[in-house]
Structure 1
Amino acid sequence: MEFYRELNSFTIYKNDSTQRLTSDYTYKYALPFEKIDEPEKITLFLQMNWMHTLTISVLYYAIVRGIEWILKGRPGFSLKTPLLLWNGALAIFSILGFIRFSEDFLVSLYLQGVYRSICYSVHPNDVAAFWSLLFAISKIVELGDTLFIVLRKKPLIFLHYYHHAAVLIYTVHSGAEHTAPGRAFIAMNYLAHSFMYTYYTVAAAGVRLPRWVPMTVTTIQTTQMLAGVAISIVVYRIKSVYGWPCQQSYPNLYLAFLIYFTFAVLFIQFFYNAYFARKKKSKEEQKETKKIQ
């Protein structure tokens, strides 16, 4: 076990050989609980168990379909207050997560440039590591979003459950490797979810918002996916063209590219269908109504 611990803890990748590349940035102000005392144990746990996210994803899909089957022919639940509290809690968590975590990435980007910001992982004992661990845990919690959809009998699109399952798997796999571009990915996701869950909270409160608000939220989400593709391409060039050390294995890099590319395509498709195809269809229906009259 000690040999396994020595070999696998804090694995860093220069063309997939073991090294260690971590940021030396430490937060000037940290709350007492914003620390990880034994990061090696968490790393080892993730390395030995990350594949169980596949099991969770399969169970998640089966439970969702099972609930849909049980509610077939029955009215959905209202769940207005629980939904409001759920989205509100996730909005607050995402905002706090972005404020606390992004300091590490933004300071690194400003002072040290792109290379060290996406090829050196967070300091394993500092604030950013704590919030990255909470981020990974939140991906399991956020599976509850789907339960609200199916229990209320709202339309469930492929993008929704694919996004939740894929992000969970990739996040935990990245945590097991201390994937360095995760500094950018986590900061972007915290930011996007700050807007998304705030919008969901306001909508759950019964406030009717103008059309440009959900369009802006979807645009932010789509931009996040396109940025993920761009970062993955940059990391690939750093590793394969320049041969510089970068803490991201090729399997994890290929998985990141696949996930972000498919997300980008699906979000662009969703954006078009939700805000342009529907509007076009509405205009056509109005024309048909005028013809009938």
Structure 2
Amino acid sequence: MQGEYELKGYVYPYFAKVLELVTGKDPATFKFVVGKTPLSTFKEVAILFCLYYIVIYLIHGFMKNRKPFQLKWIAFVHNCFLCIISLVLCVSMFEFVLQIIFKHGLLNAVCAPQAYTQRLEVLYYCNYLVKYYEFIDTVFLALKKKKLDFLHLYHHGMTMFICWCQLYGHATITWGPVAINLFVHVIMYYYYARTTVIKKRVWWKKYLTTLQIVQFVIDIFFIYGATYTYFAFNYFPSLPNFGNCNGDPVMAVIGCAVITSYLFLFIDFFKKTYKGKKSSPKAAKDIKKALSTGKSTAVNAKNNLKKRAKSEKFN
């Protein structure tokens, strides 16, 4: 891309070679063009978005009177692949972004058009394609007859959509939510891979959900800040701002709305999953009574033992 920052790649060149072997095309020539790049139009996104939910509904109906599939090792390989590809994309992305921050400052890394580089766009597009592959998560859950809650279904569908919005809008801040999400996914898919083969409770599951919530808080800080300074600079110059910020404002607003909804949904999930329900007054009274009874029984038993020992001594 013309005028972009010049950055050195350390991990990315190896990833680019693998991409070239798989696709037969040099990633250096890639450019996301709506209507030319596969899965680049809103029509394609909308069709696959709806198809995802239709397929899951059909699988759910198909499995209604059937025994659940185990899919243990298939799911394990699936989760390992997502863990590895998330790690590669995350490290490749951060190696470019950190160079921009150190050389040009955080504000440029968030808003400057030169910071939206061709190689970063390759990584954004790969991440976008991975979101379609992640639909298999839900397919496995449906085949195993696991509970499909609203959060899971909404999150998978909308994440694919906002990844397309980021590519469509060419927003410089795209690296923020994408790179952080990839970091979380490295840990998350490691957790899924581990629990697929080892049926043992992982003590840090609660902290994984906490990390997801922190992720959305950081995302909101970045995207709200970038969106605010864009609108303030272009439409309300009397307001304090950091200047213009590169990206499509409509896509930025959609991103703000979706990420905010994620934050509230994950907080609600955290409360329901880890906080538990408080005991009713009657239940608390019954527990207190049981404890009191148990204590009295223990004391009586102890006294009886003493009396018996004393009696035996004199006898």
**TM-score interval (norm. to shorter):** 0.7 to 0.9
Q: Distance in 2 between matches of 1:41 and 1:83?
A: 31
What's the secondary structure of 1:156's corresponding residue? coil
Which residue pairs with 1:117 in the alignment? 109
Deviations 1:154-202 (A, max 9, x none): 1111011111111111111221232211111111111010110011111
Q: Distance in 2 between matches of 1:103 and 1:43?
A: 27
Shift of 1:107: 2.4
Q: Distance in 1 between matches of 2:143 and 2:183?
A: 28
Amino acid at match of 1:142: E
What's the secondary structure of 2:208's corresponding residue? helix
Task: Structure 1 unaligned segments of length 5 or more: list them.
Answer: 1-9, 11-19
Q: Distance in 2 between matches of 1:277 and 1:45?
A: 50
Which residue pairs with 2:212 in the alignment? 221
What's the secondary structure of 1:181's corresponding residue? helix
User: Structure 1 residues 173-182 or 202-211, which shifts more?
Assistant: 202-211
Shift of 1:101: 1.2
Q: 1:195 aligns with which of 159, 177, 187?
A: 187
Shift of 1:238: 1.5
Q: What's the TM-score once normalised by structure 2's chain length?
A: 0.77
Q: Distance in 1 between matches of 2:226 and 2:210?
A: 24
Amino acid at match of 1:255: I
What's the secondary structure of 1:37's corresponding residue? helix
User: When the two structures are aligned, how many residues end up with a matched partner?
Assistant: 271
Q: Trace 1:22-61 onto structure 2 (pairs within 5 A).
A: 23-29=4-10, 30-31=13-14, 32-33=16-17, 36-40=27-31, 42=33, 44-45=35-36, 49-61=41-53
Which residue pairs with 2:225 in the alignment? 234
Deviations 1:53-76 (A, max 9, x none): 121111111111111111113221
Shift of 1:246: 1.8
Q: Distance in 2 between matches of 1:201 and 1:93?
A: 14
Shift of 1:136: 0.8
Shift of 1:290: 8.0
Which residue pairs with 1:181 in the alignment? 173
Alpha-carbon distance change, 48 to 267 in structure 1, aligned in 2, over 3 angstroms: closer
What's the secondary structure of 1:59's corresponding residue? helix
Which residue pairs with 1:205 in the alignment? 197
What's the secondary structure of 1:66's corresponding residue? helix
Which residue pairs with 2:92 in the alignment? 100
2:253 matched to 1:272?
A: no
Q: Distance in 2 between matches of 1:267 and 1:85?
A: 27
Q: Distance in 2 between matches of 1:287 and 1:112?
A: 64
8 Å contact from structure 1 (residues 218, 271) kept in 2: yes
Shift of 1:285: 7.3
CA RMSD of aligned residues (A): 2.8
Q: Distance in 2 between matches of 1:183 and 1:50?
A: 21
Q: Distance in 2 between matches of 1:287 and 1:210?
A: 33
Q: Distance in 1 between matches of 2:286 and 2:195?
A: 32
Which residue pairs with 1:256 in the alignment? 255
Deviations 1:194-252 (A, max 9, x none): 110011111111152443x1111111111111222211220122212244232221111
User: Structure 1 residues 100-109 or 214-223, which shifts more?
Assistant: 100-109
Alpha-carbon distance change, 41 to 102 in structure 1, aligned in 2, over 3 angstroms: closer
Shift of 1:143: 0.6
Shift of 1:39: 3.1
Q: Distance in 1 between matches of 2:211 and 2:46?
A: 28
